[in-house]
Structure 1
Amino acid sequence: MKKNKRDLLAFLRMAAASLLGLCAVLAHAQALPAPDADDGKTFRAIAMHDVRHNVRESFVAEPEPTALDERTVADFFSWLRSAGYHPVSLQQIVDARAGGKPLPARAVLLSFDDGYESFYSKVYPLLKQFNYPAVMALVTGWLEVPPGQIVAGYGAQTPLRREAFITWEQAREMAASGLVEYASHGDAIHTGVPGNPQGNLQPAAVTHRYDSSTGRYEDDAAWIARVEADLRRSRGLIEQRTGARVRAMVWPYGAYNKAALRAADRAGMPITLTLDEGPNTPDVPLQTIRRGLATYDIAVPEYALLRTPARPDPRVLQRAMHIDLDNVYDPDPQQQEANLSRLLDRVQAVGPSAVFLQAFADPDGDGAADALYFPNRHLPMRADLFNRVAWQLRTRTGVEVYAWMPVLAFQLPANNPLAGVRVTHMEPASAAARDQVRYHRLSPADARVRALIGDIYEDLAKNAPVAGLLFHDDATYSDDEDASPAALAQLAAQGLPADLRTLRGDPALRARWTEFKTRQLTDFTLELAQRAREWQPGILTARNLYARPVLEPASQEWFAQSLSQSLQAYDYTAVMAMPFMEQAADPKAWLEALYRQVAAQPHGIERTVFELQARDWRSGKMIDKDTLAGQWTLLHRLGARHVAIYPDDFLEGQPPLVTVRDILSVRVNLRGGKVDSLETPPALAPAKP
């Protein structure tokens, strides 16, 4: 249990380390994000926690990542005034959003989480001195503990007694001042619950609790009933003890989903505060207020907290290891844990920014999902493993985990009525199609198939923490597909002939057909992303694209893939920069041509991940390390920014560690105030095991 308690602390450290990394990269970049618009509705928000005298010496070991030095807070308050920032109250924000008095330029919402006594003794005097309003989030379960007792569920390094938090009498005094508005921080959900059979503790507000005695997870109804009851209890206690109205919820660990937002609204708290970064522009609802997280390492948090963008900064490079979870899986639990340890060691040693992690089981290597590695409604579960591995990667190595998933290639059980609703091709197959890999794919022309695959993506996001989705390269049609009855009916509905030979024989019809198929696949992936965002609103997207549609745009009709469309639709496009797979006669010239085609597109270099080939699948051998390194050196010198390697054989240590680290590591040495020659941002600091 002690080990598992570190999971949530590691999660918090990971979030704090992410902010520190972004702070450094912004501070040393040549150009900072543009100032926020002065529109009378935009504001920034900052999340602060405990305030200590001499914070670095107040802990026996390393300080809590979110603890702040009292001098830092005092300096920060002074800096806000001198730099022209204006702390505002939650009521001012509500009024401005409702069409009332506009907010001042550079408006800032100050918030303090957890209800520490230091807020009363160190922060409250500063609020009165500067006449700054603030929101304070209270964990009512901690404040209800009798004097002298240990606060159970407090997940920091050192257990705290009740006296570490404000008293209800102090809370009433501050409420009466008009400077402090209280928000709920939960009653018993500022803790972790077992999120998988291996016992990892994960944020209680968004995790379906795993019961080891029954081997089952909470169902949706039990989970949301638990969360909503907690929110109601917390709000009621604050209002009863202080006499102050509570209308806001602050999500513990910043973890929330759309169902939890609806529960907070039903519980009387339509406003919630998150740990999402970026400005609160008018399009950001007050139901999900973004906040920068202050940490003890930041002296005056100008850059990290008040200048961060809302979406991935194109300067923050993506360096991704592409991992087969099939290589972690083993029917022997001990061997499986040993495999996981080797993966964690490898990722820690390499230091990438992201891992593209297989979430489906493909033991026969045909590219189709025979089973999944997470609980779901439609396919067998080979092992309840994805959550465990994704969580360990995230909290132990600090990487962002993208779930690598098929779009259409699911091998349903034979008794599923949709098992035979497949993408089919006309006979005989076209010459172009005969040269392509044909995955077993379900036909998205059938609404039942789309709903089923959407269920799978929803189950993934419900059961595992991920930063993003990587859509597999199975999202493709050849120039003789889809000839299934549902697809032909779709063509007729589009005013196109329901006959593929007719379509292929007329250039104008063929072009319309190609555009329709390409857009259909893109729209379906975006539909799947939306299903996943019901459970994890911040999920990013990436899609694997074959190189040929990039190099030869006319070949879109053989793949139904388009680089320009992909760049517009997704956060990143992972182009398979694999000359040996494509049997290129001159790999160097082939890569140069691929880069030129990407660079010619708007945002092409910013949003393209060049995925290098580490194994020659024709021979079964790994690509020579010097060849692999040379390919990235070439692309990087041309101007490529983002790179991934597939596959990484962490069990055999191939490609060699030094090669992979040289290509993928985002660790830097800040010397003389400059970022290293690769201009890469600092890696997320690893959590302590």
Structure 2
Amino acid sequence: MKRRAFLKSLVATLTVSVSPRLLADGNVNAIVGETQQPLTSVQIPKGQFVTLCMHDVIDDNNAALAKDPYAISTQRLAALFDWMQENNWHPVSLQYILDAESGKVSLPDNAVLLSWDDGLASAYTKVFPLLKAYNYPGLFAIETDWITRVQQGEEVVYQAEGAAGPKKPSPAFKADEDQARKSGNIIEPGKVFYNGVEMGAEGFVSWAQLREMQASGLVEFASHTNDQHHGILANPQGNVEPATITRQYLQDLKRYETDQEFHRRIFDDLNTSAAILKKEVGVRPRAIVWPYGAMNKEVENIATEAGLFVSFGLGDRHLNRKNQAPSTFGRLLVMNDPSPVSIEEQVSESITHRPETERAVQVDLDYIYDPDPKRSNENLGELLDRIKALKIRTVYLQAFADPEGTGTPKELYFPNSVLPMRADLFNRVAWQLQTRAGVRVLAWLPMLAYQLPDAAQQARLSVKVKSPDGALVPAKRDYLRLSPFLPESLEIIGRIYADFGKNNTGVYGLLIHDDAYLAEDEDATVLEPQARWPGTDTPMGGTMLTPRQKTDALIAFGNAVTEKMRFYFNSSNYFSTARNMYARVVLDPKAEARFAQALPPFLANYDHVALMAMPYLDGTDEPPAQWLKKLATAVAEQPGGLQKVVFELQTKNWQNGEWINGETLKSWMQLLIRMGGKNLAYYPDDFLNNKPPFKPTYEGISLNDFPYYPVKP
């Protein structure tokens, strides 16, 4: 009874806008019921903390909550605070976390950082009274331009601190301003379009309220940017992606933002936001909460230049821990008005991280491309319908053009500084797949095989073998590969990977193509004086390498170029790396000498191994089912093998040009699952001609709970 009386009095202290329904005995009993749970069995690991990301707080109104999935009810928020008190969870301030990072204090058990985004009115009317009642600290992210506009009805431009003087806006800045007016949150002076509703000053906190919150000692304010909480044009086809990490496509100029223009746009915006908060609240922020969680290493570095050395994104793959460097933290997004126990379950999943089952299709962008953009878009529509209906998790999407099937691209499907661009198509297709078909996209790219425009440079940088007379000559194999031991090769391929990252920040990772191998007589480039261990300045010593050394060298090269790409990817998404592997090296470990591939180091270095479980490609004389059983058995013998290996089946017999029977393909998938395999993929997919046939493929690979019913492809 004492607890119920306390809650009733607490809720009554909130602003008069609180619904009388919340004060009724039944609702107070509901709060008590949610908080009187058994003491939690979930314990946040020592020295780590969880950050909760919340937005609006709405009185217990089902209709209002249904319209805003990011809102939490006043009742549920009060219940959460009480639950944390009962279950030994300890809200901490950002300052406390930074002190723990520097070793001044230790984080308490079950440390939690509470945060609210966007500076909505409920931050003052609902959240602030609860923080005071419980003496809990909170972090509030303020989008300064919204509050400036709704308070004054006009745009107020502050000179960024530390700037040399007035600067002429670049074309990129002007285009960004125009885009914000057309499709961002600003509808007219004094109004903000928020979650589908046009709101004025009544929807947001005022500067006076923020000053009162700051004076309490419980609240810290972070920048939520000044005016980057919207999407901008990301490709010529018209897709809009988060402004903070997107190189804007300038429609009138028919080009993308330059690196310098991008840097200036982000830096000036963050500096302006910090200056406004300093002027209005009295304290310059030290943290940036990135809109939509859209951040990467590039903008984190820019934020640090602007004095915002703590970055918050989204994502729950890893709990935050002290001594993270730099100070970059994820947050758990609170959605759908959850109960305290539901939030506890969300935290529990962040701790355990059970691997998700992978089901993937490897897709040729060559099948989508057509010189007629209208036809390309129609082809894309066919792919989207098929992938969405399959109910899979991932698409490995070709980022290079290979219409002749040589495996060595001369052109790419994204803007870059090395090879010609066949079409600016990858970003469009990847974004549509992720937003319309609901899958993750991994870029499928070669590691070494690129045909450079300069034939002499290609020959000089090629993987080499010794000729009978002892000369070092380019290897004549199926793939024209650049040597992983030449720093110039790494620089060129690193540029390709970096350029891809700049133009495709929302992709979830990389599939490394099957070109990444070295035959037994390769790579004699190590004998050249300029040869270096990949990614280092360590000379090779002038002797040929052992098979395992070559395996490790290819992994090192791949890691070095992948980091060039990863620098630009949205770090709120978990970056996943997969690599194709030939099945022969699993069935016969001695074959490492012929491929420079081996399963144990692959399992140790990649999130997934896309094992080419392709009996006809392997050339085995055994029946395919028997061969697949042997392959699955060999994988199972390796620790973690069945968890990380993706069995990638062939859907076409390239020896005779015929497609695999659909029921046969399904039987292979079912066999691998019976053998303990979790992760499946297939290649190729001719979505324009229903190859492989949809129904048996769906029944074999779908993640749907019960895939045995007709689904229209």
- Tell me which interval the TM-score lies in, with the shorter structure as reference length: 0.7 to 0.9
Shift of the 93–602 alpha-carbon distance from structure 1 to 2, 3 Å rule, reads: same
Of 558, 570, 589, the residue aligned with 1:525 is 558
Q: Quote the Cα distance in structure 2 between the aligned partners of 1:138 and 1:577.
A: 51
Supply the AA of the counterpart residue of 2:45: A
| 1:166 pairs with 2:205 | yes
Deviation at 1:616, TM superposition (A): 0.9
Question: Mapping of 1:342-491 within 5 angstroms?
Answer: 342-414=382-454, 417-418=457-458, 420-427=460-467, 438-464=478-504, 465-484=506-525, 490=531
Specify whether residues 341 and 161 from structure 1 end up closer, same or farther in structure 2 by C-alpha distance, changes over 3 A only.
farther
The 2-side partners of 1:575 and 1:34 are apart by 37
Cα shift at 1:237: 0.5
CA contact (8 A) 1:148 1:163 kept: no
**Matching residue within 570, 576, 580 for 2:606:** 570
Q: CA deviation at 1:338?
A: 0.6
Partner amino acid for 1:202? E
- The equivalent position to 1:37 in structure 2, one of 41, 45, 51, is 45
Deviation at 1:383, TM superposition (A): 0.5
Q: Aligned letter for 2:93?
A: S
Per-residue deviation, residues 216-259 of structure 1 (Å, max 9, x unmatched): 11111110111010000001101111113411110111111212
Cα displacement (A) at 1:291: 0.7
> How much does 1:36 deviate?
3.5
Residues 358-388 of structure 1, C-alpha deviations (whole Å, 9 max, x = no match): 0000010111112111100100000011011
Distance in 2 of aligned mates of 1:285 and 1:161: 39
Query: In the alignment, which residue of structure 2 is the partner of 1:561?
Result: 597
Say whether 1:309 aligns with 2:350. Answer: yes
Q: 2:79 matched to 1:79?
A: no
C-alpha deviation, 1:158, in angstroms: 3.0
Equivalent-residue separation in structure 2 for 1:203 and 1:643 (angstroms):
32
| SS of match in other structure, 2:67 | coil
Q: CA deviation at 1:99?
A: 1.2
Q: CA RMSD in A?
A: 2.5
CA–CA separation in structure 2 for the residues paired with 1:304 and 1:527: 37
Alignment partners' CA distance in 1, 2:305 and 2:541: 46
Q: Distance in 2 between matches of 1:604 and 1:49?
A: 41
Equivalent position SS for 1:143: helix
Is this contact kept in 2: 1:47–1:110, CA < 8 A? yes
Q: Find the counterpart in structure 1 of residue 285 from structure 2.
A: 246
Residue identity opposite 1:468 in structure 2: G
Do the aligned partners of 1:412 and 1:419 also contact (CA within 8 Å) in 2?
A: no
TM-score, length of structure 1 as denominator length:
0.85
My pick for the range that moved more, 437-446 or 190-199, is 437-446
Change (3 A) 1:339 1:491: closer
Given candidates 250, 257, 272, the residue that maps to 2:296 is: 257
CA distance in 1 between partners of 2:507 and 2:138 (Å): 32
Query: Could you report, residue by residue, the CA deviation over 1:178-231 in whole angstroms, capped at 9, with x for unpaired residues?
Result: 111100000111111111111211111111111011111111111011101000
How many residues are treated as equivalent by the alignment?
A: 616
Aligned partner of 2:580 in structure 1 is 544
* d(CA) in 2 for partners of 1:104, 1:391: 41
> Is 2:54 the partner of 1:48?
yes
Partner of 1:621: 658
Q: Secondary structure at the match of 2:646?
A: strand
Deviations 1:117-168 (A, max 9, x none): 1121121121112111100000001001135968447463333333211111
**Aligned partners of 2:626, 2:285: CA distance in 1, in Å?**
64
2:609 is paired with a residue of what secondary structure? strand
* Unmatched 5+ stretches in structure 1: 1-31, 430-435, 499-511, 670-675, 678-689
> 5+ residue gaps in structure 2?
1-39, 154-184, 470-475, 534-538, 709-713
| Distance in structure 2 (CA, Å) of the matches to 1:196 and 1:662 | 36
1:332-367 C-alpha deviation (Å, 9 max, x unpaired) = 010011111111111111111111000000010111
- Aligned partner of 2:378 in structure 1 is 338
Which residue does the alignment assign to 2:265?
226
Structure 1 letter corresponding to 2:129: P
TM-score normalized with structure 2 length: 0.82
Instruction: Name the structure 1 match of 2:161.
Output: none
**Alpha-carbon displacement from aligned partner over 1:596-641 (angstroms, at most 9, x marks no partner):** 1111112111111110111111122211111111111111011111
3-state DSSP of counterpart to 2:414: coil
- Read off the aligned partner of 2:421 and give its amino acid letter: M
Q: Tell me the residue number matched to 1:99.
A: 103
Q: For the residues of structure 1 that align with 2:307 and 2:152, how far apart are their CA atoms?
A: 33
Distance (whole Å) between structure 1 residues aligned to residue 509 and residue 388 of structure 2: 20
1:151 and 1:162 in contact (8 A); partners too: no
Q: Which amino acid aligns with 1:50?
A: D
Kindly state the Cα deviation for residue 306 of structure 1 after the two structures are TM-superposed.
Answer: 1.7
Contact 1:114/1:137 (CA < 8 Å) preserved in 2? yes
Residues 111-130 of structure 1: pairs in structure 2 closer than 5 A = 111-130=115-134
2:235 maps to which of 186, 191, 196: 196
Farther-moved stretch of structure 1 (285-294 vs 100-109): 285-294
SS of equivalent residue, structure 2 residue 136: coil
Please, which moves more after superposition, 96-105 or 151-160? 151-160
Residues 485 and 274 (structure 1 numbering): CA distance in 2 closer, same or farther, change over 3 Å? closer
Q: Offset of 1:494 from its aligned partner?
A: 4.2
Relative to structure 2, which stretch is displaced further, 106-115 or 485-494?
485-494
Q: Contact between 1:368 and 1:440, CA under 8 Å: does it hold in 2?
A: yes
Paired letter, 2:551: T
Structure-2 change in CA distance of 1:491 and 1:556 (3 Å):
farther
Q: Find the counterpart in structure 2 of residue 630 from structure 1.
A: 667
Measure, in 2, the Cα distance between the counterparts of 1:496 and 1:419: 20
- 1:648 matched to 2:656: no
8 Å CA contact retained: 1:357, 1:402:
yes
In the alignment, what sits opposite 2:221?
182
Aligned to 1:687: none
Displacement, 1:309?
3.5
- AA in 1 matched with 2:53: A
Partners of 1:198 and 1:76 lie apart in 2 by 45
Query: Which of the residues 304, 314, 322 maps onto 1:282?
Result: 322
Which of residues 595, 610, 624 in structure 1 aligns to 2:632?
595
Q: Is the 8 A contact 1:55 1:63 kept in 2?
A: no
Instruction: Give 2:163's aligned residue.
Output: none
CA contact (8 A) 1:314 1:606 kept: no
C-alpha distance in 1 between matches for 2:463 and 2:262: 37
1:65 partner SS: coil
The 1:155–1:656 alpha-carbon spacing in structure 2 relative to 1, beyond 3 Å, is farther
